[in-house]
Amino acid sequence: MIVLGIETSCDETAAAIVESGSSIKSSIVASQVSVHHTFGGVVPELASRMHMEAIVPVVEKCLDEAGLTVSEIDAVAATQGPGLAGALLVGFCFAKALAFTSGKPLVGVDHLEGHLQTVSIDSKQPCFPMIGLLASGGHTGIYYLKSQGDYQLLGQTRDDAAGEAYDKVAKMLGLGYPGGAVIDDLAHQGNPEAIYFKRPYVDKQAYDFSFSGIKTAVMRYLQSCPKIDHSHRADIAAGFQEAVVDVLVYKVLHAAKKKNCSQIAVVGGVAANKRLRTKLSEAASREKLTLRIPPLSLCGDNAAMIAAVGYHNLKAGKGASLDADAYSRQIRPKL
């Protein structure tokens, strides 16, 4: 089965064609970073307008690279939510129109389930049961993945997502947007032990996160420093990153122990973070756990993950009607 996936939940317009839920035939992502960089973050209205400009050429290029026409695909899958309402509507409405005119089945896909699916794309080994950490600019949560399509949310952030905290701290340090990669690179030039920020565990026996406090701690530290040079800025970035990564790693290991899982995974944009990858790899080796991390091309928002979930949803009879609507918030405690 060949599925065309469409993703427009935030600031990337993406389309991909995936066969049998695992073989990527083409994947196109049009980023809006250069536009939103000026404002220090994503501007929803601009994101929606840019999706409208990009959606047709992105889908056309995706089909062209796969060497297929719309008549040769078997279904259309699109992100239904959560995400920015206007951005979601562009992609989901386009998918509905394409499905209607071509007579193909329509599948609505949960964006978060898409990220969790990335560790199974091109995987030759069973990935369940497993503990999954989903960390991105808009979401941070711990999931218990029992089987395909059966994912239980164990805990999530009570305020800022991990990636959001990175972006805000980067802005405080004058590093621009997006902040994840910039802080990651700068932190490697600094000493993570030079400046200690309290680890925001919230409750070590629970799975919830809270990153607004460490963001405030960085802000207060900066206010106490009359002048900051590059070396000092690198130490601040390193100290901040070490605190966030320590919490993420601890929560994943805690969940794996409680759920008696031998496999852990990290997905989402923050999964590209080098320090997180290193510390999780070390922890997994120490605890004799199998660590699964998707390739960098699948860490950020992409449509391959949407097409992959669409394939499995369609097999399970979970199609969407043409009067279905997008949802901006995570409305289901269980994916």
Pick the closest to residue 184 from 269, 241, 100 (CA basis): 241
Sheet holding 130-135, edge to edge: 150-156, 140-147, 130-135, 263-267, 290-292
Residue 275: band (very low, low, confident or very high) from pLDDT cuts 50, 70, 90: very high
Can you give the pLDDT at residue 35?
Answer: 87
Query: What does the alpha-carbon distance between residue 266 and residue 200 come to, in Å, rounded to a whole number?
Result: 19
pLDDT at 111 over 60: yes
Ramachandran angles phi, psi of 267, nearest 5°: -135, 170
Report which DSSP code applies to 57: H
**Helix boundaries (H) for 188-327:** 212-223, 230-258, 274-286, 304-315
pLDDT at 283 over 60: yes
Report which DSSP code applies to 32: -
Are the beta carbons of 17 and 73 closer than 8 angstroms? yes
Task: Report the pLDDT averaged over residues 310-328.
Answer: 93
Report which DSSP code applies to 157: B
pLDDT at 37 over 70: yes
CA 249 to chain centroid, in Å, comes to 17
Pick the closest to residue 10 from 40, 38, 30, 39 (CA basis): 30
Query: What does the alpha-carbon distance between residue 60 and residue 6 come to, in Å, rounded to a whole number?
Result: 12
Can you give the pLDDT at residue 125?
Answer: 63
Task: Report the pLDDT averaged over residues 1-18.
Answer: 97
pLDDT at 300 over 80: yes
Can you give the pLDDT at residue 149?
Answer: 85
Length of the chain: 335
Question: Helix, strand, or coil here: 84?
Answer: coil
Pick the closest to residue 169 from 232, 233, 84 (CA basis): 233
Task: Report the pLDDT averaged over residues 266-279.
Answer: 96
Can you give the pLDDT at residue 282?
Answer: 97
Query: What does the alpha-carbon distance between residue 51 and residue 224 come to, in Å, rounded to a whole number?
Result: 42
Pairing of strands 2-7, 75-81: parallel
pLDDT at 126 over 80: no
Residue 334: band (very low, low, confident or very high) from pLDDT cuts 50, 70, 90: very low
Can you give the pLDDT at residue 124?
Answer: 63
pLDDT at 127 over 80: no
- Residue owning tokens 């939510």: 81
**Burial readout 148-186 (b: 16 or more C-beta within 10 A, e: otherwise):** bbebebbbbbeebbbbbbbbbbbebbebebbbbebbbeb
Query: What does the alpha-carbon distance between residue 225 and residue 222 come to, in Å, rounded to a whole number?
Result: 5
pLDDT at 331 over 60: no
pLDDT at 258 over 80: yes
Q: What is the pLDDT of residues 134-185, one digit of tens each?
A: 999 889 999 999 988 899 999 999 999 999 999 999 999 999 888 899 999 9
Are the beta carbons of 79 and 8 closer than 8 angstroms? yes
Query: What does the alpha-carbon distance between residue 16 and residue 143 come to, in Å, rounded to a whole number?
Result: 25
pLDDT at 29 over 70: yes
The full set of domains in the chain, from first to last, is 2-116+298-315 (3.30.420.40), 127-293 (3.30.420.40)
User: Which residues share a beta bridge with 97?
Assistant: none
Question: Helix, strand, or coil here: 328?
Answer: coil
Query: What does the alpha-carbon distance between residue 299 and residue 157 come to, in Å, rounded to a whole number?
Result: 19
Q: What is the pLDDT of residues 213-228, one digit of tens each?
A: 999 999 999 999 888 8
Is the CA virtual torsion 120, 70, 28, 38 positive or negative? Answer: negative
Q: What is the pLDDT of residues 51-84, one digit of tens each?
A: 999 999 999 999 999 999 999 999 999 999 999 9
Are the beta carbons of 23 and 33 closer than 8 angstroms? no
Pick the closest to residue 314 from 175, 108, 54, 26 (CA basis): 108
